[in-house]
Amino acid sequence: VADTFNWNNAGATANWSVTGVSGWNGPGVGYPDAADDVANLNLNITANRIVTINVTDATVGTLTMTDSTPSNS
């Protein structure tokens, strides 16, 4: 069963393993780690951002990266 995770952190840097308000918001607690998971990074991107993949099981089936305010992208 695929789970969908949405990235919440609009800050400049963060680790993939961060969950909750500062990272991934998805079903239960966790981060995208399965071949059929969906990872959405859809924020108002106002400057360069870095998400460090700091885990060995970071796996996704779909990765979507968009700017919610296109004039900033």
What phi and psi values does residue 45 have, to the nearest 5 degrees? -85, 110
pLDDT digits (tens, 9 = 90+) for 49-59: 788 999 999 99
Query: Which positions ≥6 away from 21 have C-beta within 8 Å?
Result: 8
With DSSP H G I counted as helix, E B as strand and the rest as coil, what are the percentages for the chain, rounded to 5? 10, 35, 55
pLDDT tens across 2-49, in order?
A: 899 998 887 767 888 888 878 889 886 789 999 999 999 888 877 777
pTM of structure: 0.81
